Amino acid sequence: MKKVLIYIGIFITFIIIYLLQSNLFVWFNIAGIMPNLFIILVLFCGLFTGKKSGLICGFIIGILLDLFLETKVLIEPIMLGIVGFVSGILSKIFSKENRFNIMIMVIALTFAYETSVYVLKILLNGIELELLPFIKIIFVECFFNAMLTIIIYPIFQYFGLKIEDKILGNKMLRYF
């Protein structure tokens, strides 16, 4: 029952982020470039729920984005699923307490996600390659996501540690 409530909470967070992304950040942008808060949400899902749940969470969020934005190709679910899976792997390597580590993860995953999506859209849709505008967009979006992570990190960490305790449990005692 508690896990169901956690997943409902993640869905409500998705709706709030979608509304922020489509309403607030249209006005609050840097050179016309908006942050991608969905990468941050999927990253935190993977960090605090594990790689399997991060993969599922990323895939479901990607499907919801495809439905809301009416895109036809499954690029978003696959790439957000990979982001969730990788962040689940990184949760074992890096500390969740250190903001610098989280910022580096956000920057790296934003860069990898946006680059992969751009390359796949070029290959699948025949979009023309424009390298300089793409590099500008990538760096501004990475910077924007990193700055927003600093702001929202304490909130996600507070709820993430509670979620981690409920979903993963305290498995530390079995080693002693």
Whether 174 maps to a domain, the answer reads: no
Enclosing domain of residue 28: 2-169
67 part of a folded domain: yes
- What's the angle, vertex CA 50, arms to CA 25 and CA 114, rounded to 5? 40
DSSP letters for 19-38:
HIIIIIHHHS-BTTB---HH
Could you give the CA distance from residue 156 to residue 151 in angstroms, rounded to a whole number? 10
Q: pLDDT tens across 156-172, in order?
A: 888 888 887 777 665 54
CATH number at residue 82: 1.10.1760
pLDDT tens column, 98-114:
888 899 999 999 999 99
Q: How many CB atoms lie within 10 A of CB 169?
A: 10
What does the block give as tokens for 157?
């960490």
In a domain, 176, yes or no: no
pLDDT at 93 over 80: yes
Tally the domains of the chain: 1
Q: What is the pTM of this model?
A: 0.86
